[in-house]
Amino acid sequence: MDKCFYTIYCFLIFFNLSLFSCEKNDSSSVEVLVLGAMEEEIEGFLHAAKNVKTEKWQNFTFYKGQLYGKEVVIARVGIGKSISAILTQYFVMRFSPQYIVFTGVAGALNKEASIGDVYIAKDCMQYDLDTTALGVELGTIVEIQRRFLPTDPKLRNLALSTPLKEVTIREGRILTGDAFLSTEKAHVRQFLSEELDGDAIEMEGASVGLVAYVNQIPFLLIRTISDRADGTAVEDFSSFVNVLSRTSRDIVEHVFLHLPR
């Protein structure tokens, strides 16, 4: 899985530059990419955005417009590491964003976290990138010699300072992998929490974070806890997504309003 992920990623970077460059000539740059894995995770931003224009690349739809005074592209980049990296790299090559913001749901690894809490990632890691047989630490990206991918401290501090009512904002480590955790994988959950010091788990953050890191673009990763990463989830996900949407919008608005113009 990981070998396939890096093959696709490297192919896009080194062999498709001409395609991206041609499209970029017909497109203006934007200040921020606002990304999520699922449609529900970006709907709130689309409702808040102004002068929205719908565009497509291949079979993927994305939206250009203004959000809280910033020129943005809002897009769903799909579930999982490979597709989220592909689409993020495409947007980077086409629109030259100054910042990348990713929001969505995650499962809790930290026992102190409650459903509805928000994690602002201090860093993120691909926990299923395993080349330990070659003497490399779990999660290490050999090509860039990094195990944990940092988020931007300025963006992170702005997000953490958002005044939210009845919502707990936490700072922590987000772990990314191409699998859902179930009750049968309790030993994996314990390893991720205790050995890797993970606070939450999801399927896209570190792959998008890798694109941001390689392209030297400040990155913010926001995750709202929707379950305990044990195969269970909130009973009414639709209602929960509405809460998630409001919380994510409030945080992103706060960050955008405090960014330099």
Digit-coded pLDDT (tens) for 188-222: 878 898 899 999 999 999 999 999 999 999 999 99
Asked if residue 13 has pLDDT above 50, the reply is no
pLDDT of residue 236: 54
pLDDT band at 143 (very low <50, low <70, confident <90, very high): very high
Tokens 């602002």 appear where? 120
Alpha-carbon gap, residue 200 to 108, rounded angstroms: 4
pLDDT of residue 235: 58
pLDDT of residue 37: 93
Q: What digits encode the pLDDT tens for the residues 94-136?
A: 999 999 999 999 989 999 998 889 999 999 999 999 999 999 9
* Phi/psi of residue 86, nearest 5 degrees: -60, -50
Residues paired with residue 104 on neighbouring β-strands, in sequence order: 223
Tokens 């896209």 appear where? 204
Q: Which residues, 6 or more positions from 124, have their beta carbon under 8 angstroms from its beta carbon?
A: 148, 149, 151, 173, 174, 175, 176, 205, 206, 209, 221
Q: Among 10-19, 86-95, 164-173, name the one with the lowest average pLDDT.
A: 10-19
Q: What percent of the chain has pLDDT over 70?
A: 82
| Residue type for position 66 | Q
Buried b (16+ CB within 10 A) or exposed e, 123-148: bbbbbbbeeeeeeeebbbbeeeeebb
Rounded mean pLDDT of 30-37? 97
Four-point Cα dihedral 47, 89, 27, 44, nearest 10: 0
Asked if residue 43 has pLDDT above 50, the reply is yes
Alpha-carbon gap, residue 132 to 215, rounded angstroms: 27
More confident residue, 255 or 180: 255
16-20, 99-103, 179-183, range with greatest mean pLDDT: 99-103
Find the distance separating the first CA and the last CA of the chain, reported in whole Å: 41
Asked if residue 21 has pLDDT above 50, the reply is no
The first and second tokens of residue 95, run together, are: 């629109």
pLDDT of residue 17: 44
pLDDT of residue 183: 55
- Grouping H, G, I as helix, E, B as strand and the rest as coil, residue 35 is strand
Q: Which residues, 6 or more positions from 53, have their beta carbon under 8 angstroms from its beta carbon?
A: 63, 64, 65
Alpha-carbon gap, residue 91 to 63, rounded angstroms: 11
* Phi/psi of residue 149, nearest 5 degrees: -100, 120
Alpha-carbon gap, residue 48 to 143, rounded angstroms: 39
Which domains, and CATH codes, for the chain? Answer: 2-257 (3.40.50.1580)
DSSP state of 141: B
pLDDT of residue 237: 61
